[in-house]
Amino acid sequence: MEESPLVEARGLRKVYPGGVVAVDGVDLEAWEGVTVLMGPNGSGKTTTLSMIAGSLKPTKGYVKVCGYDVWSGDWSKPRECMGFAPQNMPFREKLSVLENLVWYGLIRGLSIGEARREAKKLLEAVGLPDKGKAKVAELSGGMRRRLTIAAALMGDPRVLILDEPTSGLDPRGRSEFWRLVRDLSRDRAVIASTHIPEEAEEVGDRVYIFYKGRIAAWGSPEELIKRYAPKARIVIQGRGLSNPPNVRGATLVRSGDDTAIYSTMDPGEVLPRIVEALVKVGAFIERVEVRKPGLAEVYMTVTGSGAPSEG
């Protein structure tokens, strides 16, 4: 593990021509492992990733990748260190899949022979081993996403930046892709944006939640859940539940004749008490479920009404 982050962004701000403030005061670090960006549509994820990847100039702030400043000094150094898969990767549509990959390899400083070898290996890794000779224009949307990821990986960069890499992939493709990302992230930094909280929770070592161009919250999934959505819900289904008793350590969230929902910090401790109290008042319990909160709940909290604008 390095002493300093592989990606370091400080005070990033982007004002687009026309005056839209898309990103405002973003600080972000990525180390070896997976860093995930989440946030509503238009919250500034793509703008931030593009500034990190060197394709969109910040209005203010700086970015360092592998210790090299992206926006001042020698651009070839940070460029060789990172691969970027934007939401729409530009390919030469009439050339073959393999030819396109070789092209990206040459840009990153590989020889033709190295590029061809690596391109074949990567097509295998992303599940397109038979598509080398196909023209890019003939690929399906999901195959194109896979090719995008392979292209970003050409040259074996230490930093991999992926904007919504799983959008358009089928469920099997998604889970295979995240497994590949986990493997890749053992000795490099992967930064990826996604709209799917379950994926972020499973794969993210560090998650940034964007809201209106700022970072509303960040941390490991566990830290975020502990801080923003610590309460489990206990859902009781049955009959005679319309007047459920108060129970120490739990808050009654909702009740009807056939359902009662409590929230609590400590479901293991509180559940037996709830069941006991309900039985005592003559309720009939058919089903009990403990719902542990996840990043989805964190996301709703920090991007909902009254969401923090920073910190």
Ligand X SMILES: Nc1ncnc2c1ncn2[C@@H]1O[C@H](COP(=O)(O)OP(=O)(O)OP(=O)(O)O)[C@@H](O)[C@H]1O
Site of interaction with Mg ion (CB under 5 A)? 45-46
Nearer to ligand X, 47 or 264 (CB): 47
Minimal distance, residue 142 CB to Mg ion, in Å: 18
Which entry of ligand X, Mg ion, none binds 41, CB below 5 to 8 A by partner kind?
Answer: ligand X
284 binds, among ligand X, Mg ion, none (CB under 5 to 8 A by kind): none
Helix (H, G, I), strand (E, B) or coil at 271: helix
Q: Within a 10 A sphere around the Cβ of 114, how many other Cβ atoms?
A: 16
> Coil, strand, or helix at residue 52?
helix
16 contact choice in ligand X, Mg ion, none (CB below 5 to 8 Å, kind-dependent): ligand X
Q: What residue is closest to Mg ion based on CB?
A: 46
In sequence order, the 6+-apart residues with CB closer than 8 A to the CB of 89 are: 144, 147, 148, 151, 152
Give the Cα separation of 311 and 305 in Å (integer): 16
Between residues 43 and 263, which has the closer beta carbon with respect to ligand X?
43
Q: Using CB distances below 5 to 8 A depending on partner kind, what does residue 42 bind out of ligand X, Mg ion, none? A: ligand X
From the list Mg ion, ligand X, none, partner contacted by residue 43 (C-beta under 5 to 8 A by kind): ligand X
Q: Name the H helices within the chain.
A: 45-53, 76-81, 97-107, 112-125, 141-153, 171-184, 197-203, 221-228, 267-280, 295-302
Q: How far is the CB of 223 from ligand X (least distance, A)?
A: 22
Q: How far is the CB of 42 from ligand X (least distance, A)?
A: 4
**Minimum distance from CB of 192 to Mg ion (Å)?**
12
The site for ligand X (CB under 6 A) is made up of 16, 18, 20, 22, 39, 41-47, 210
**What are the tokens at 306?**
């009254």
We find the least distance from the C-beta atom of residue 46 to Mg ion, in angstroms, to be: 3
User: Which residue lies nearer to Mg ion by CB, 45 or 214?
Assistant: 45
Structure tokens at 309: 């604008």
Helix (H, G, I), strand (E, B) or coil at 123: helix
**Is the Cβ of residue 177 or residue 210 nearer to ligand X in the bound state?**
210
Least distance to ligand X, CB of residue 134, Å = 28
Find, among 2, 5, 7, the residue nearest to 62 by Cα.
7
Burial environment of residue 182 by CB neighbours within 10 A (0 to 12, 13 to 18, 19 or more): middle
Q: Closer CB to ligand X, residue 46 or residue 264?
A: 46
Contact partner at residue 44 from ligand X, Mg ion, none, CB < 5 to 8 Å by partner kind: ligand X
Contact call for residues 152 and 90 (beta carbons, < 8 A): no
47 binds, among Mg ion, ligand X, none (CB under 5 to 8 A by kind): ligand X
Q: Which of 64, 46, 36, 47 is nearest to 13 (CA)?
A: 47
Distance of CA 158 to the CA centre of its chain: 18
CB 43 to Mg ion: min, Å? 9
Q: Taking the complex as a whole, how short is the minimal distance between the CB of residue 305 and ligand X, in angstroms?
A: 19
- Name the residue nearer to Mg ion (CB basis): 108 or 212: 212
177 or 210: CB nearest Mg ion: 210
Nearer to ligand X, 16 or 75 (CB): 16
* SS3 assignment, position 98: helix
Partner that binds at residue 68, options Mg ion, ligand X, none, CB closer than 5 to 8 Å by kind: none
C-alpha pair distances (Å), 266 with each of 233, 248, 253, 277: 10, 11, 15, 17
